[in-house]
Amino acid sequence: MRNRFTELFEGLLNSNPFKNYYKKNRLRPPGAASEETFMELCIRCARCIEVCPYDSIERADLFEKLQIGTPYIYPENKACYLCMRCMKVCPTGALNPKLTDGKKVRMGIAVINQNTCLNFLYYKDEMLGVSATGTAQLCGTCYNVCPYTDEAIVMEKFILPVVTDKCTGCGICTEKCPATPEKAIAIYPEGMPVDKNTGYFGRRSKVHGRERKKSADALKGEKLLEEKQKIDSSDVKPDFEYNTENYDEQY
Amino acid sequence: MKIKIYRRAAQILTVFAIFFIPVLNVFELYFVKGTFISMDIGDAAMADPLAVFQSMIAAGRVNEYMLGSVVIPIVLMLLLGRVWCSWFCPYYLCAEFMSWLRRKLKLKAYKPKYSENIHIRQARVRYIFLFAGLVLMAIAGVPILNLISAPGVISTQAMVIVKFHYVTFELVFVAVLLLLEFFYFRFWCRFFCPTGTFLSFFRSKRGMTVRKVKEDCSNCMSCVRSCPMMINPMTMGESAHCNNCGDCVDACPDNKAQDTLKFTFK
Ligand code: SF4
Ligand code: SF4
Ligand code: SF4
Ligand code: SF4
Ligand code: SF4
């Protein structure tokens, strides 16, 4: 029963102020329910914001439309250090208070941009025997700062950082990455719908539709690992691209 | 003027607290944290029942964290009546300040005349406003009434000022309300505030209420004139409008000789 009019209608509903969509490096605090549920549950009490000892959590301002007052983490400014305090204070369960193990947190997943990561550039230089940048530098900061070094992030060929599905999405790597002007590693938030799929229509039909369960294991486990394994250190293999288009089908 | 002194002290302490709690948190003391939408003291969690109720409707589920956090406010409400409003709500203090300002500026009295059915009109507007708000909120599926909860906004703004050193747009909303408050006597609390309306559902006749304990009094009507909620304290102490501010008890001249109008438990 899809035609021009239903699509027009959907489009109208989807451009309303309830919109919340997937945006790189903008995360919900650890333990947050999937975005739709989170927006229903969070009463904007700011308790999680107050309790965060690192001031990682920021309060959404007016430019975030109706999400004003809800908590966000912008790992480029300040990552989450997985101290696991914020979820315990949440009065409505918007952040899961049963979560106590930092390892189980899945706020998102780190994705390395192989074209700007200093180590990948260095490796390219080495392999090609020419200096592509002229300023080859060895980094490895993300590997060193990750709270789950060698689990969430591993070094291939002792030099190329690769993120695995154990990544919690805490964003410490993003905060510390020295690559300029843009960080070479970014966090892709978990459980957020893409822009055009988010308005009122998107929310209701997705939340209460059958797809809810399915979305829970989107790009996790095996499937994610598969994606990740496509990354190879030598640059002959295809480039890994985080598949954001697929969000459409998943949410 | 006894009750009023205690009440002022409680109000000023509350305002102090909304700025001081974030300061404590900045210094990593987390014994008390949160805002007036929800806070905890030690392990005791409290949340605005309306806020939690909204998220129950929106999410279509109830969990133990939600229930746990409304226990204390509701028990307080049942025992002491709507003391939240007149003793703690920072907005109420601001609204009282506006009345005081008017008195100081010697503007003419703006409190409407008491009439038999003014409280019915108030109640009608309040319930319709709350109901419409809840319907809108259920459609949106987001607890949006919290965005217009005056005490919640004031205390989150205080937190934002202390912790992040800026204010956000919601403060404009409170500023507009207070400006209107200057011209219309207690209009927000009497006609609109969803928080206060929802709290008054938990008012019990057995809790603390104002009652005339003596058969007759000098019928001076001082209490009626003093009531900020426009009800008749002699007969309607149990009404959902009464927020147990005690202004009528203070105003009653007969109290000096013999207990006439008092807070009682039943
Ligand atoms: S886990 Fe700790 S550091 Fe991370 S957001 Fe929560 S309170 Fe802040
Ligand atoms: S503690 Fe929970 S309800 Fe309060 S602002 Fe944080 S996520 Fe929202
Ligand atoms: S790679 Fe490590 S530091 Fe980066 S987000 Fe994942 S868990 Fe956090
Ligand atoms: S910190 Fe940034 S530049 Fe350094 S290795 Fe990691 S992704 Fe590459
Ligand atoms: S009615 Fe609302 S604004 Fe007025 S005192 Fe009560 S909670 Fe505060």
Q: Tell me, what's the pLDDT at B124?
A: 92
Q: Tell me, what's the pLDDT at A79?
A: 93
Band of pLDDT at residue B116, cut at 50, 70 and 90: confident
Q: Tell me, what's the pLDDT at A194?
A: 58
Contacts of A193 (CB under 8 A, 6+ apart): A20, A21, A22, A35, A36, A202, A206, A247, A251
Q: Tell me, what's the pLDDT at A116?
A: 86
Does position A230 have pLDDT exceeding 70, yes or no? no
Question: Average of pLDDT values for B77-97?
Answer: 91
CA pair distance B83, B199, nearest whole angstrom: 10
CA pair distance B46, B33, nearest whole angstrom: 10
Nearest CB to B63 within list A58, A93, A203: A93
Question: Average of pLDDT values for B164-172?
Answer: 83
Contacts of B140 (CB under 8 A, 6+ apart): A18, A66, A200, B58
Residues B237-265: tens digit of each pLDDT: 888 888 888 888 998 888 888 888 888 88
Ligand 1 proximity of A29 Cβ (cutoff 6 Å): yes
Q: A231-245, B117-131, B166-180, B216-230: which has the minimum mean pLDDT?
A: A231-245
User: Which one has a higher pLDDT value, B120 or A4?
Assistant: B120
Tokens 């998107």 locate to A202
A184 and B CB contact within 8 Å: no
Q: Tell me, what's the pLDDT at A216?
A: 43
Ligand 3 proximity of A153 Cβ (cutoff 6 Å): yes
Ligand 5 centroid to residue B149 C-alpha, Å: 8
| Virtual torsion, Cα A136, A142, A145, A148, nearest 10 deg | -140
Size of interface A-B (CB pairs under 8 A): 121
User: Which one has a higher pLDDT value, B25 or B9?
Assistant: B9
For the ranges A34-43, B109-118, B120-129, the one whose mean pLDDT is highest: B120-129
Ligand 4 centroid to residue A55 C-alpha, Å: 24
Q: Give the closest-approach CA distance of A128 to chain B in angstroms.
A: 48
Q: B138-142, B149-153, B156-160: which has the minimum mean pLDDT?
A: B138-142
A98 and B CB contact within 8 Å: no
Q: Tell me, what's the pLDDT at A14?
A: 60
Residues A121-143: tens digit of each pLDDT: 888 877 776 665 566 678 889 99
Q: A223-227, B38-42, B125-129, B168-172: which has the minimum mean pLDDT?
A: A223-227
Does position B144 have pLDDT exceeding 60, yes or no? yes
B65 and A CB contact within 8 Å: yes
Q: Tell me, what's the pLDDT at A2?
A: 65
Pick from B38, B40, B50 the residue to mutate for probing ligand 2's pocket: most ligand atoms within 8 Å of its CB.
B38
> A105: alpha, beta or left, given left = phi > 0 and alpha = psi -120 to 50?
beta
CA pair distance A198, A13, nearest whole angstrom: 9
Residues A91-108: tens digit of each pLDDT: 888 898 888 888 888 888
B73 and A CB contact within 8 Å: no
B22 and A CB contact within 8 Å: yes
Please tell me the residue having the least CA distance from ligand 1 atom 4: A80
Could you tell me what percent of chain B has a pLDDT over 90?
21
Name the residue among B159, B168, B137, B160 with its Cα closest to residue B39: B159
Q: A225-229, A234-238, B87-91: which has the minimum mean pLDDT?
A: A234-238
Q: Tell me, what's the pLDDT at A30?
A: 92
Residue A169 CA, closest ligand 3 atom number: 5
Nearest CB to A61 within list B34, B159, B168: B168
Name the residue among A187, A203, A192 with its Cα closest to residue A247: A192
Q: A18-27, A85-94, A99-108, A159-168: which has the minimum mean pLDDT?
A: A18-27
Does position A24 have pLDDT exceeding 90, yes or no? no
Name the residue among B110, B57, B80 with its Cα closest to residue B206: B80
A165, A221 Cβ separation under 8 angstroms: yes
Question: Average of pLDDT values for B196-209?
Answer: 88
Q: Where are chain B's structural domains?
A: 3-205
Does position A247 have pLDDT exceeding 60, yes or no? no
Q: Give the closest-approach CA distance of A117 to chain B in angstroms.
A: 32
Residues B51-75: tens digit of each pLDDT: 999 988 888 888 888 888 889 989 9
For B44, phi then psi, to 5°, come to: -85, 115
And the tokens for B26?
A: 């900045």
Does position B21 have pLDDT exceeding 70, yes or no? yes
Q: Tell me, what's the pLDDT at A243?
A: 41
CA pair distance B3, A169, nearest whole angstrom: 54
CA pair distance B25, B34, nearest whole angstrom: 9
Ligand 2 proximity of A48 Cβ (cutoff 6 Å): yes
Band of pLDDT at residue A237, cut at 50, 70 and 90: very low
Ligand 2 centroid to residue A208 C-alpha, Å: 22
CA pair distance B11, B27, nearest whole angstrom: 24
Nearest CB to A204 within list B21, B141, B160: B141
Question: Average of pLDDT values for A163-187?
Answer: 89
Query: With contacts defined as CB-CB under 8 Å, which chain B residues touch A212?
Result: none
Ligand 1 proximity of A86 Cβ (cutoff 6 Å): yes
Q: ipTM of this model?
A: 0.83
Q: A13-22, A54-63, A78-87, A164-173: which has the minimum mean pLDDT?
A: A13-22
Question: Average of pLDDT values for A115-119?
Answer: 87
Could you tell me what percent of chain A has a pLDDT over 70?
67
User: Which one has a higher pLDDT value, A208 or B227?
Assistant: B227
Q: Tell me, what's the pLDDT at A133?
A: 57
Question: Average of pLDDT values for B40-44?
Answer: 81
Please indicate whether, in this complex, the C-beta atoms of B66 and A91 are within 8 angstroms of each other.
yes
Mean pLDDT of chain B: 87
Q: Give the closest-approach CA distance of B20 to chain A in angstroms.
A: 12
Mutate to test the interface with A, among B40, B64, B65, B74 (most CBs of A within 10 A): B65
Does position A219 have pLDDT exceeding 90, yes or no? no
B19 and A CB contact within 8 Å: no
